[in-house]
Amino acid sequence: MAPVSPAPFELRRKTGELAEGAARLAQDLEAAPVAKVLADANRTASRRGSTAAFGQMKPQPADWFTFEDSDDDTRDWYPQGLTCSSDAGSGPDAFIASWYWKPELATEERGIRLTFLDPHKGRYRHVLAVTARPDGGYSAIDLHAGGIAWYRHHLYVADTARGLRVFDLRKILDLRSAQDDTGDRNRIGRKGGKFHAYGYRYVLPQCDAWRLVTLGARFSFASVDRSADPDLLVCGEYVDGAGERGRLARWRLAADGTLRHRDGLAAAHDAYRAPAGKIQGAVSHKDTWYLSQAGTGAVRGNLLVGSADEEPETRAYPFGPEDLTVWRDKKQIWSITEYPRRRALFAVPL
């Protein structure tokens, strides 16, 4: 992992009307903390459930969860990003996974949804991410959401060509607080005097953004390094061209959860060239890098492990591995797989 210039990853804060729009929507809908969303979970994850995600992987993951059949089978939604409360540093134990809308014959954009999973009870619930406007309206977000990172109360979401979108996890909003149902499953926004979110009970409005100062870098995945001082946000590029390798960059995080910046400009702390192509997720922890590398639908992926100045070790990994997160107390790296009927949220040792 050769060092490269971090300059292409400089970000500028672009709040615009996002905070105002989120605040306006919150005037009419009550906020639900993460703990309430978890307590209200309406789906069941199976711990160590049967799955084809691992194939003949040896050793098998240390732990894993599988989703209900409707989520495991669907070709409308694909899981991508993953983070956990260990990244956040506080709050109830939880995982958050991001999914993007991908039907083959889609006539509308339903955006991204976020899955909140309680690892103790094995229960989970989907929340729809939205963009809210100062007039009180809101809509779905057209985004791949390839990586997410939870730090303090902020949820950072990778925005491929632009930078990062930011959501405030204290401001998850409950549609049932304003009406006796969750609205029309086929509508989004305020219509007919009611709130609609494609049938989802909870919505999470975007409240902030960090945009690239100079276009060219890509944001394909995200994670948090809490072993550094100060803590770091990690992002990187997925590239799949023959012989191509993406870059990885890290930003210092402030105590309030924002990127450390000066006059709205956040310079990357450092950057590296990835040791291989097709990297789907990366995290640094105590001077060691962990990178998930895609295979194909028929070939399992790899986990690349090593310090920045050495050739990485290649370890067996499941089919379709995506974003990475560290559960520090358990000394585990967790990831999520994307392919239908091979979906699992799983852990391997650090």
Pairing of strands 232-236, 46-47: unpaired
The predicted pLDDT at position 80 comes to: 98
| Averaged pLDDT for residues 266-280 | 98
Tell me the percentage of the chain whose pLDDT exceeds 70. Answer: 100
Nearest to 147 by CA among 238, 266, 23: 238
pLDDT at residue 295 in the model: 86
- Asked if the model's pLDDT at residue 106 lies above 80, the reply is no
What's the confidence (pLDDT) of residue 48? 97
DSSP state, residue 226: T
Q: How far is CA 85 from the centre of its chain?
A: 12
Ranges of each domain in the chain:
7-349
> How many CB atoms within 10 Å of residue 47?
12
β-partners of residue 232 are 225, 252
pTM: 0.97
- pLDDT of 296 reads 76
- Give the mean pLDDT of the chain: 97
Share of the chain above pLDDT 90, in %: 95
- CB contact at 8 A, 213 and 316: no
Contact 113, 201 (CB under 8 A): no
What does the pLDDT look like over 31-47, one tens digit per residue? Answer: 999 999 999 999 999 99
pLDDT of residue 6: 98
pLDDT for res 158? 98
Residue 25, pLDDT score: 98
User: Does residue 178 register a pLDDT over 90?
Assistant: yes
Q: How confident is the model at residue 63 (pLDDT cuts 50, 70, 90)?
A: very high
For residue 267, CA distances in Å to 6, 37, 197, 342 come to 8, 35, 36, 38
At 246, is the pLDDT very low, low, confident or very high (cuts 50, 70, 90)? very high
pLDDT mean over 133-161? 97
Q: How confident is the model at residue 116 (pLDDT cuts 50, 70, 90)?
A: very high
CATH of the domain spanning 7-349: 2.120.10
- Residue 99 phi/psi, 5° resolution? -130, 145
What is the spatial distance between Cα 182 and Cα 69, in angstroms, rounded to a whole number? 23
> Sign of the CA dihedral 150, 151, 154, 160?
negative
Beta bridge partners, 11, equal 212, 266
H and E: helices and strands count for the chain: 4, 29
pLDDT of 190 above 90: yes
Whole-number pLDDT of residue 70: 97
Cβ(126)–Cβ(110) below 8 Å: no
DSSP code, position 347 = E
Fill in the amino acid letter for 267. Answer: A
Phi, psi for 240 (deg, rounded to 5) = -130, 15
Give the per-residue pLDDT at 298: 84
User: What pLDDT does residue 105 have?
Assistant: 74
pLDDT for residue 104? 77
pLDDT digit string, tens, across residues 290-334: 999 998 778 999 999 999 999 999 999 999 999 999 999 999 999
